[in-house]
Amino acid sequence: MAKLRRIQLSKSYKPIDISFLKIGDLLEFDCYVQRFKDFVIIISAGTTLSEKHLRLLSNSDRHYVKYDQHELYTKLLPSDEELVGKKIISLEELDAEGLDLYATLEEKLEVLYTSLAQMMYDYFDHSLELNQRYLDALLQEYVLIVKKDTLAYRTIMNTMCKKDNHAVHSVNVALLCLGLANHLNYSISQMKTIGKAALLHDVGKKEIDKAIFEKNTKLDAAEFEQMKTHPLLSYQIVHAMGILDRSLLDAIHHHHEYLDGSGYPDKLKGQRISDFTQMITVCDIFDGMTSYRSYRNKKSAITALKAIKTEYKERIRPKFTEGMIKLFHSVYSSELKN
């Protein structure tokens, strides 16, 4: 491996998100990480990315580009439309032919992800109603794939977008919950319930001032109080949709509660918090840590899992934090070895 080049620390570097990069992409800018008082190039411009390169990038939390190369970076950034994609499957197509329209597992999983994400985009950005039958049909396909082929979950993980918006976050949390539920040997029926609860857990955020979510500094007390209303808003919206499953509604209402009583909105403790709720909580935290946010860079999976195990030791049941760690060890064993 070529010797790393060190550049003296200055103000001429900007943090970037590289989660959208994939094998085969040509890197048009030098990618840096910070090492003590220096910036270090870990991958040089002109490199065609391999699995080894992506593994190298995933092992560092923050990445930077020089100001004079930032335009090259922004040209590579995918738009929301490209992230969500244009290839979707309609409810009518699902009813008629299912996923037989697509030849490979990768194509099937891509169209499922883009279809779910487009539905959530339409809800959050265009106030379109959620079609429950369509939503249930897409989630069922995911559940059946995960139950049939445990190796498929790595491909599922690789389809996840890491943009900072409600739509993809909702889908990601749902897919993380499905993987965790399957790893813990939950039934197909239970997986459908937890997947649906996770997909809808943040729908109430549509009713909150967008400026709060777009703020790149710490929320003040009034803004945080408004933010804390979203679990109840989500519960009310989902209940109004005619969804009456108490375990599903409870998981949505209380996904920000913690075992030690430090959560909201009801400061529940211990056994008053259901397992379904805790599953959404841990997956919600994980996706938040591993996705780009305007106020910080995303963490790698291994760093996020270690942080959750340490920081949420008294707040999340060990079977779920350990379950997440074991799930990722089984999916990405080469990257997550200690």
| pTM of the predicted model as reported, rounded to 2 decimal places | 0.76
3-state secondary structure the chain: CCCCCEEECCCCEEEECCCCCCCCCECCCCEEEEECCEEEEEECCCCECCHHHHHHHHCCCCEEEEHHHHHHHHHHCCCHHHHHCCCCCCHHHHHHHHHHHCCCHHHHHHHHHHHHHHHHHHHHHHCCCCCHHHHHHHHHHHHHHHHHCCCHHHHHHHHCCCCCCHHHHHHHHHHHHHHHHHHCCCCHHHHHHHHHHHHHCCHHHHHCCHHHHHCCCCCCHHHHHHHCCHHHHHHHHHHHCCCCCHHHHHHHHCCCCCCCCCCCCCCCCHHHCCHHHHHHHHHHHHHHHHCCECCECCCCHHHHHHHHHHHCCCCCCHHHHHHHHHHHHHHCHHHHCC
Q: What is the pLDDT of residue 336?
A: 46
Question: Are 23 and 128 members of one domain?
Answer: no
- Domain boundary, last residue among 77, 93, 109: 77
Judge contact between 96 and 122, C-beta under 8 A: no
**Calpha distance 142→113 (Å, rounded):** 9
Q: What is the pLDDT of residue 87?
A: 80
pLDDT tens string 189-226: 999 999 999 999 999 999 998 888 767 677 889 999 99
In a domain, 250, yes or no: yes
In a domain, 1, yes or no: no
Q: What is the pLDDT of residue 38?
A: 83
Question: Are 96 and 56 members of one domain?
Answer: no
Q: What is the pLDDT of residue 7?
A: 42
- Domain boundary, last residue among 77, 99, 134: 77
Question: Are 100 and 86 members of one domain?
Answer: yes
Strand-strand pairing, 38-43 and 31-35: antiparallel
Question: Are 73 and 92 members of one domain?
Answer: no
In a domain, 49, yes or no: yes
- Domain boundary, last residue among 77, 95, 119: 77
Sites in the chain below the pLDDT cut of 70: 1-11, 77-86, 214, 216, 292-297, 333-338
Q: How many domains does the chain have?
A: 2
Domain that holds residue 72: 6-77
Question: Are 235 and 147 members of one domain?
Answer: yes
Q: What is the pLDDT of residue 297?
A: 64
Question: Are 266 and 280 members of one domain?
Answer: yes
**Calpha distance 151→189 (Å, rounded):** 21
In a domain, 244, yes or no: yes
Token pair listed for 109: 């999983």
In a domain, 20, yes or no: yes
Question: Are 194 and 61 members of one domain?
Answer: no
In a domain, 145, yes or no: yes
Question: Are 58 and 101 members of one domain?
Answer: no
Question: Are 130 and 188 members of one domain?
Answer: yes
In a domain, 61, yes or no: yes
Question: Are 43 and 87 members of one domain?
Answer: no
Q: What is the pLDDT of residue 109?
A: 93
Residue (of 71, 79, 84) closest to 16 by Cα position: 71
Question: Are 289 and 176 members of one domain?
Answer: yes
Question: Are 304 and 231 members of one domain?
Answer: yes
